[in-house]
Amino acid sequence: MSRSTLGRLVGLLITGLISSASAARTVDWKPRSIYQTMTDRFARTDGSLTAPCNTTAGFYCGGTWRGTIDRLDYIQGMGFDAVMISPIIENIHGQVSYGEAYHGYWPLNFNTLNSHFGTHQDLLDLSAALHSRGMYFMMDTVINNMAYITNGSNPATHIDYSVFTPFNNADYFHPYCKIKNWENMTDAQRCQTGDLDVPLPDLFTEHADVQQLLIAWANNAIKTYSIDGLRIDAAKHVNTGFLQNFSNGVDTFMTGEVLEGAVSIMEDYQSNYIDSLPNYPIYFEIIDAFTQGNTSQLAKAVENMRITMPDVNAMATFSENHDKPRIGSYSDDIAMAKNVLVFTMLFDGIPMIYQGQEQHLKGNSVPVNREAIWLTKYDTNAVLYQLIAKLNRIRNHAALLGTNYFEDSTHTIYQGASELGFTKGVQGRQVVMVLSTQPSTSGAYNLDMAVTYNAGTVIMDVLNCKNYTVDNQGLLRVDMNKGEPRVFFPTQYMEGSGLCGYSETNVTLAMLETGSSSTSAGMQFTSGTGVAALLLAVMTSMFVMLV
Ligand SMILES: *[C@@H]1O[C@H](CO)[C@@H](O)[C@H](O)[C@H]1NC(C)=O
Ligand SMILES: *[C@@H]1O[C@H](CO)[C@@H](O)[C@H](O)[C@H]1NC(C)=O
Ligand SMILES: *[C@@H]1O[C@H](CO)[C@@H](O)[C@H](O)[C@H]1NC(C)=O
Ligand SMILES: *[C@@H]1O[C@H](CO)[C@@H](O)[C@H](O)[C@H]1NC(C)=O
Ligand SMILES: *[C@@H]1O[C@H](CO)[C@@H](O)[C@H](O)[C@H]1NC(C)=O
Ligand SMILES: *[C@@H]1O[C@H](CO)[C@@H](O)[C@H](O)[C@H]1NC(C)=O
Ligand SMILES: *[C@@H]1O[C@H](CO)[C@@H](O)[C@H](O)[C@H]1NC(C)=O
């Protein structure tokens, strides 16, 4: 084989590697952490910090894709490396007593964009801006239904199906029926979600034409806007056969909203229909544990999930979203908000944080949990904003030094009357979180805990930059106070974390173990090795191909 042929082959292979990287897979998503925006309520093109937004009235408040581009520093400043935006397509126009389609979940036309949020070029620019920062672009997507304003008239007789694109006649839809029992999957999947003001005509997703149109649309949108992943809205209400076809037919990672607390249902979905789901079972346990101060169920749920689910790490972990009450609505207590965030960010799975959680917003239900973020002035000094930044750092750092951090499972190591301890990661470099259900008005006390580090290990609480030493029996005396969470990591491995005064350099385990950390020569050596390894891998696969 001539040199030039070899060069061309390597070039082709590298091109292949690069282009396949644009269709991100579950394995590519596991290390990421996602910030969820609702475009209309996140940022405006004019950069306003004062434009009023009456969430109860429920009208468009002026947020745009262009506005989002201008606030990516704010998102990246917390350490997020992915953004999920609300649905992009044209929604129904007009108003009902509780507002209009600002949220994007009332589809009208799959082939046009929602002009309130910007233009084709704006969306291309948002995608490019994210990718230039090394961030992934996720899009929320409605494939279960369209929407129609009947304003109280009978949906069985008052929906004009010809207005929908491309589903422009009644044959594309299930006949109207109202969901009577939301736990009955047949009912939930055949009948309409929505209400009598805005019924949501339910697409006949068992039908081959409907399936093909939706799959083709999604693949086209992904290609056009270089989208790296999808959230599938109302996935529970789509028949499972289509969900499976959609997830096989659409060339990207997707996480499907199945709003169920039962682990057995999640297990069925993940085993059979879709790789990832937002982790609703854990969500419900988080809320119960921290709002009711009952630690036993979350401790058990962590164990149960690990044993039952095919892959907890492929799920999206969250504690707020646009459908659920804000943590701050249960209580003003900042300690509760901190404990919830520590668990959400450091438990297995891909953290997904809903815009405004970092500002401790307090909206207690739809629609008041869709606050305009600009009214917070994007305060980067907010306590929870800073906390999230630290948690993203320790998560990334533990993964850099761990062998398989994003495949490792969280284990419960402690459950007290008002404390929970969890560990994740390879022995010796694990992250240990100690959480409290006590309020910030509570006092100081000590807790002796078997933290799983070896006797004598010096560990640091990365939230307070304080050293502790594990005693000669492997116990750690944790000084609990004011309901504050603790996050431990071995002090020896803190270099490179960007936390507690340690530099944020690209260290390797070998560098820290030989004590030759943080020299720039060392770093160059490391990245040089990376390129060599990649080339070697390319050569090897080429030779395998040629044999
Ligand atoms: C917000 O909208 C609601 C419902 O339309 C209305 O009752 C309320 O007065 C409005 N609030 C403000 C501050 O305008
Ligand atoms: C629906 O009813 C509301 C009053 O509740 C009215 O303001 C609105 O214009 C009506 N919308 C349509 C599309 O008929
Ligand atoms: C579920 O709902 C369907 C109708 O939508 C009904 O035929 C069926 O009996 C229900 N199943 C259960 C277990 O209630
Ligand atoms: C999935 O798609 C294939 C090919 O279009 C089709 O034959 C099959 O019936 C679909 N499965 C379901 C459950 O709809
Ligand atoms: C915690 O919740 C479990 C399950 O709901 C219950 O059995 C237990 O009694 C609760 N414990 C406390 C202290 O409330
Ligand atoms: C923590 O311990 C390490 C190593 O033992 C030491 O270098 C460092 O100064 C200590 N940091 C603090 C804040 O005490
Ligand atoms: C850090 O180094 C590893 C390999 O040594 C490389 O894969 C990675 O891209 C580097 N990360 C950064 C942010 O430079």
- Taking the centre of ligand 6 as the mean of its atom positions, its distance from the CA of residue 467, in whole angstroms, is 6
Catalytic (active site) residue 461: no
Under the banding of pLDDT at 50, 70 and 90, the label for residue 543 is very low
Please, are residues 481 and 444 in contact by the beta-carbon 8 Å criterion? yes
What is the predicted pLDDT for the residue at 514? 80
Give the tens place of pLDDT for each residue, 19-28. Answer: 444 579 999 9
Distance (Å) of CA 262 to CA 97, 185, 285: 35, 13, 11
Tell me which of 445 and 4 has the higher pLDDT.
445
133 labelled ligand-binding = no
pLDDT of 10 reads 40
Tell me if 326 is assigned to a ligand binding site. no
> By mean pLDDT, which of 95-104, 194-203, 485-494, 521-530 is the weakest?
521-530
Ligand 1 within 6 A of CB of 54: yes
The count of other CB atoms within 10 Å of the CB of residue 200 is 21
Task: Using a pLDDT cut of 90, give the percent of the chain over it.
Answer: 87
pLDDT digits (tens, 9 = 90+) for 237-268: 999 999 999 999 998 999 999 999 999 999 99
pLDDT classification of 184: cutoffs 50, 70, 90: very high
Q: State the burial class of residue 283 (Cβ atoms within 10 Å of its Cβ: 0-12, 13-18, 19+).
A: buried
Longest dimension (CA), the chain: 76
pLDDT given at position 506 = 86
pLDDT of residue 22: 56
Q: Greater confidence, 526 or 345?
A: 345
Question: What does the angle CA 38 – CA 397 – CA 407 come to, to the nearest 5 degrees?
Answer: 80
Q: Which CATH architecture has domain 410-492?
A: Sandwich (2.60)
| Domain boundaries defined on the chain | 26-144+205-401, 410-492
Higher pLDDT, 444 or 543: 444
Q: Around Cβ 215, how many Cβ atoms within 10 Å?
A: 19
> Is residue 349 a contact partner of residue 395, using CB atoms and an 8 Å limit?
no
Atom of ligand 2 nearest to the CA of 94: 13
Q: List pocket residues of ligand 3, CB cut-off 6 Å.
A: 184, 186-187, 190
C-alpha span between 238 and 145 (Å, rounded): 9
Query: Helix crossing, 334-346 with 383-401: angle to 10°?
Result: 20
Comparing 339 with 539, the larger pLDDT belongs to: 339
Tell me how far the alpha carbon of residue 5 is from its chain's centroid: 44
Query: Pairing state of beta strands 89-91 and 82-85?
Result: unpaired
The model's pLDDT over 374-412, given as tens digits with 9 standing for 90+, comes to 999 999 999 999 999 999 999 999 999 998 999 999 999
Q: What is the mean pLDDT of residues 4-22?
A: 41
Architecture in CATH for domain 26-144+205-401: Alpha-Beta Barrel (3.20)
Average pLDDT, the chain: 91
Distance (Å) from CA 252 to ligand 4 centroid: 19
Region of poorest pLDDT, from 117-131, 494-508, 515-529:
515-529
Q: Cα–Cα distance between 258 and 279 in angstroms, integer? A: 9
For the chain, give the percent of residues with pLDDT over 70.
Answer: 90
Q: What is the pLDDT of residues 310-338, one digit of tens each?
A: 999 999 999 999 999 999 999 999 999 99
The whole-angstrom separation of Cα 337 and Cα 402 is 28
Q: Please count the other Cβ atoms lying within 10 Å of the Cβ belonging to residue 248.
A: 11
Q: Which residues contact 297 (CB under 8 A, 6 or more apart)?
A: 285, 288, 289
What pLDDT is attached to residue 516?
55
Active site includes 257?
yes
| pLDDT tops 80 at residue 57 | yes
Task: Reply yes or no on whether the pLDDT at 453 is more than 70.
Answer: yes
- Read off the pLDDT of residues 21-48 as tens digits, 9 standing for 90 and up: 457 999 999 999 999 999 999 999 999 9
Average of pLDDT values for 65-74?
A: 98
Structure confidence at residue 414 as a pLDDT band (50, 70, 90) = very high
Q: Residue 528: how many CA atoms within 13 Å on its side-chain side? A: 6
**Taking 80 as the threshold, does the pLDDT of residue 515 lie above it?**
no
CA-nearest residue for atom 14, ligand 6, is 467
**150 C-alpha vs ligand 3 centroid, how far in Å?**
27
